[in-house]
Structure 1
């Protein structure tokens, strides 16, 4: 039962993280349209490979935080500062880069390696897993151990691969909508990180 809970939790959390428009799933859509679904699966495989390790790191960091509660306030302060900086950076990117960016052509033979590289550049993955696993630990739905982290990471790999594969399959139907949303992602992320940062500041001020 513990195996199923960890596997299912990883699948659901990774699916939530993969469903939102980003440069990763936008690349999957464009690559699928140009080269077909099968080559796109290699690109997705590269994503999922790195996400497996990112989920593991997120679970480990969450377990350390929950075991050392005296550091929570310090981590909250550091996290708030990082969120504010990220918010400023996202707004800067949105208002400064109005020119249409040229798409980088990805050779079929290098799709898997390109997927690994792009997933490594996704700096939000570890904080994302860290946050959700911390919530699960706090609610006593997840107890960290190497084997539980392994099950969770397997589930997250399956979840992310499944969602990105769906993007590859329905690429023709969602290309224009996804492109439009992705063009606004810097602004959306700037708003989200800004709101969370302000919420954290208020919480720390009245704590």
Structure 2
């Protein structure tokens, strides 16, 4: 039971982080439509392998930060500023994205595996995302920076990422219209999420300075 919480936490965090239509999941879906499920699965395996490394590095970095309250507070303040600026940008300044149809040429399983690794490696979002997630969970005593807990959290994150990517492959044809709607409203969605995160971060900062 002690490992169930980090497993579910990693699983849920991965779903939240990867479920919005993005380069990796949309590419996986389109490879499935153009080249078949096998090539798409090789792409997913390559992407998930890199995600495993990214989450593990993020949690190790978070463990160092967790032992330094001063650094943690500074990161919260920087994070609040960044998320506030992102909220303003996505809600008021950014242009609405348009769904673009991309052409994918027929390729081998090996090339799709490395393409998955490449696109996943170019996505730096998971590292700061999982740093914040793991530190936040630890602050609420829902996560401990112990080896077995870390590996369980990482496994949950990988499992959640795989489930989301597989869902895009399996059900993309049914949800394609909905993904177009999401793409048109992506700025509002992202801006709302970053706004919520900014508010939560501000509350944590105020509790740190005035809670005692």
Instruction: Give the structure-1-normalised TM-score.
Output: 0.81
> What is the rounded CA distance, in whole Å, between the counterparts of 1:158 and 1:108 in structure 2?
26
Counterpart residue number, 2:104: 105
For structure 2, the residue ranges without an aligned partner over 5 or more in a row are none
Counterpart residue number, 1:159: 160
Counterpart residue number, 2:132: 131
Runs of 4+ in structure 1 deviating by more than 6 angstroms, as ranges, are none
Counterpart residue number, 1:18: 18
Counterpart residue number, 2:64: 64
SS at match of 2:149: helix
1:7-35 CA-to-partner distances (Å, cap 9, x unmatched) read: 44323322332333333222222221111
Contact 1:94 1:187 in 2 (8 A): no
1:203 Cα deviation from its structure 2 partner: 6.3
1:6 Cα deviation from its structure 2 partner: 3.7
Counterpart residue number, 2:75: 75
Change in CA separation of 1:64 and 1:56 when aligned onto 2, cut-off 3 Å: same
Change in CA separation of 1:7 and 1:203 when aligned onto 2, cut-off 3 Å: closer
> What is the rounded CA distance, in whole Å, between the counterparts of 1:28 and 1:196 in structure 2?
28
SS at match of 1:108: coil
The CA RMSD over aligned residues, in Å, is 2.9
Contact 1:52 1:153 in 2 (8 A): yes
Counterpart residue number, 2:37: 37
> What is the rounded CA distance, in whole Å, between the counterparts of 1:199 and 1:141 in structure 2?
17
1:56 Cα deviation from its structure 2 partner: 0.9
Counterpart residue number, 1:197: 198
1:119-169 CA-to-partner distances (Å, cap 9, x unmatched) read: 123232122222221232123232113443223222221221122112101
For structure 1, the residue ranges without an aligned partner over 5 or more in a row are none
SS at match of 1:95: coil
> What is the rounded CA distance, in whole Å, between the counterparts of 2:163 and 2:200 in structure 1?
33
> What is the rounded CA distance, in whole Å, between the counterparts of 1:205 and 1:190 in structure 2?
22
